[in-house]
Amino acid sequence: MDISTKQTDAPPPAPQPALTERKRDARGASRPGDRIFLGLSRGSGILLLVIMAAIAVFLTYRASLAISKDHGNFLTTFEWNTNLTPPVFGIAVLAFGTVVSSIVAMAIAVPVAVAIALFLTHYAPRRLSGPIAYVIDLLAAVPSIVYGLWGALVLVPHMQGLYGWLDDYLGWTGLFSWDGGAPRAMLTVGILLAIMILPIITNVSREVFRQVPRMHEEAALALGATRWEVVRMSVLPFGRSGVISASMLGLGRALGETMAVATVLSPSYDIQASLLDPGGGTFAQNIASKFGEATDQGRDALIASGLVLFVITLLVNGAARAIIARRKEYSGANA
């Protein structure tokens, strides 16, 4: 609200020597210096657009080369054998694994992140919440490969007990049955991804909760609401769209995360109902794992799977932006 208006009102043009020049000058382009500077900055903007277009075009081009040679069905084949002649590969398993790991990650991360954001804005002692928020900011900067290393060497051994326990008590659901293999299945990946996207979802949600107008909270308080009722009546409804878009941003990260998944998951080109048995890979993990042994033909196939990932993340991020944009209008109307 405060800043967006500034963008539209341009600074007044510089004093003009002659009337005829004024038209061009209003666009800041009559002097050589101005012209060069505008050209440079506009050129940079255009370059960004060109890069985006080039990404789409070149990925599509290489992908089409690969798919035309594919003797499997690109969408439904389970295998990934790109070094065969003819190659047989498909993204069914990858799509499955990517979706499942992201769902697990979101199911864990979103409630916890929202709770932490509430903790920081409404529950924590004031002196504590500042430093904690700062630490969470820093944790968002930890490189994903470090999460991957930690996940593989620390988290995985610790999952053994949880896997056994889940198998004992919830194995009958099918979702949590375990064949006793290394605990490097989708559940572990999901948990690790959840830990990784926790900081970003927390940060965005915290900002949104902090913007809840004081008067809405006081309205609830003055009616005799408990703290939890204040949160439910005024904080959560106000922050809902913000939390959704924060979750989408987190989802975008989880979908595209490569190294952490590549270190932790033991992939299998197979689909399992259980989250504890090896089943599925993810797009990004598959690219990282298969790249070393891939020939040029195999690389094209990997590019094809990357194109699918690209499109999915575009859709998710687009949705997140759309929600944020709608929220701006909404809160503006109510201000």
Q: Does 288 bind another protein (CB under 8 A)?
A: yes
Site for another protein in 109-148 (CB under 8 A): 111-113, 115-116, 118-119, 123-124, 126, 138-139, 141-148
- Asked whether the beta carbons of 264 and 189 are under 8 A apart, the reply is yes
Closest approach, Cβ 104 to another protein, in A, equals 15
Question: Please, what is the end-to-end C-alpha distance for the chain in angstroms?
Answer: 9
Query: Among 67-75, 81-89, 99-107, 285-293, which window interacts with another protein (CB under 8 A)?
Result: 285-293
- Closest to another protein by CB, 31 vs 71, is 31
Amino acid at residue number 170: L
Site for another protein in 207-246 (CB under 8 A): 213, 215-216, 218-229, 231, 233-234, 237-238
Which of 101, 247, 258, 272 is close enough to bind another protein by CB under 8 A?
A: 258
**Binding residue count for another protein, defined by CB under 8 A:** 120
Element holding 262 (H helix, E strand): helix 259-264
Cα 14 to Cα 4: distance, rounded to the nearest angstrom? 23
Cα 301 to Cα 319: distance, rounded to the nearest angstrom? 28
- Closest to another protein by CB, 28 vs 171, is 28
| Cα Rg of the chain, angstroms | 25
- Closest to another protein by CB, 155 vs 275, is 155
Which of 21, 22, 23, 43 is close enough to bind another protein by CB under 8 A?
A: 43
- Closest to another protein by CB, 20 vs 334, is 334
Cα 231 to Cα 208: distance, rounded to the nearest angstrom? 13
Strand segments (E) across the chain? 80-81, 88-89
Closest approach, Cβ 81 to another protein, in A, equals 20
Cα 124 to Cα 210: distance, rounded to the nearest angstrom? 13
Q: Does 306 bind another protein (CB under 8 A)?
A: yes
Contacts of 99 (CB under 8 A, 6+ apart): none
Cα 157 to Cα 296: distance, rounded to the nearest angstrom? 37
> Is the torsion defined by CA of 293, 298, 302, 305 positive or negative?
negative
Closest approach, Cβ 252 to another protein, in A, equals 5
Which of 21, 22, 23, 46 is close enough to bind another protein by CB under 8 A?
A: 46
Find the DSSP H helices in the chain.
4-8, 19-25, 32-69, 92-118, 126-139, 144-150, 156-170, 186-210, 214-222, 227-230, 236-256, 259-264, 283-291, 296-334
Site for another protein in 138-197 (CB under 8 A): 138-139, 141-150, 152-155, 161-162, 164-165, 195
Q: Does 316 bind another protein (CB under 8 A)?
A: yes
Classify residue 173 by its DSSP letter: G
- Closest to another protein by CB, 184 vs 272, is 184
- Closest to another protein by CB, 92 vs 197, is 197
Q: Does 99 bind another protein (CB under 8 A)?
A: no
